[in-house]
Amino acid sequence: MPTGTTFRAPGAGAAGEGAPSQQEGATGRVVEARLEPPAPVRRGFVLGVDPGTRVVGFGAVRLTADGPQLVGAGVLRPSASADVPVRLAEIRAALDRLLGELRPEVVVVEQAFAARNVQSALRIGEGRGVVLSCAAAAGAQVVQVAPAAAKKALVGNGQAHKSQVAAMVARMLGLQRPPEPLDATDALALALTHVVRGTRPWDR
């Protein structure tokens, strides 16, 4: 059975060999938190992510001379019966793989909003944290967009219904019908909002 590693303060020996007393306390380890250099990103690729802890929507577009083109869209579904920490770990692993495949220049994440249910707000916040950290670790520019702002940018109405947003997403991407499920369409709406706003780093 493998043994664990014991960390001692500098200069401390085993118990009874100069180890600090309870009154003296112990010196904790300081570990520098740094990111590994990410892989090069693909200029003009924008990934939208609709975060959650049960379903995560994603949608990627690529900017071309003819306008934005669909790269791919879908959802990430962690194990439904798993506890929250396990679901978050599964989402992180799946996102890391997705980001590694797409290497987007920009990742647009739905911004936190006031929720009536406190528990739901906490869960969404946990999911957002995973997405934000994964995107940053991948070397992407991270942009946060509020749901109402995305609706306003695409439809002209911050209170627009999801079906209206989905229809506009399909129209902008030249699709006969919106991608399914709506979580994926919402994610594409986030990516397209970034494009519509003209905040495209590859234009600078």
Catalytic machinery residues? 50, 110, 183
Cβ(60)–Cβ(48) below 8 Å:
yes
- Strand order of the β-sheet with 104-110 is 67-76, 56-64, 42-50, 104-110, 141-145
- Going from the C-alpha of 193 to that of each of 14, 102, 107, 133, 197, the distances in angstroms are 60, 19, 12, 21, 6
Torsion of CA 47, 74, 114, 169, to 10 degrees: 70
CB atoms within 10 A of CB 120: 12
Chain-centroid distance of CA 128 in Å reads: 6
Residue written as token pair 């995560």: 56
CA-based R_g, the chain, Å: 22
* Range list of H helices, the chain: 84-102, 118-137, 147-155, 162-172, 182-196
The conformation of residue 133, written as its DSSP 8-state character, comes to H
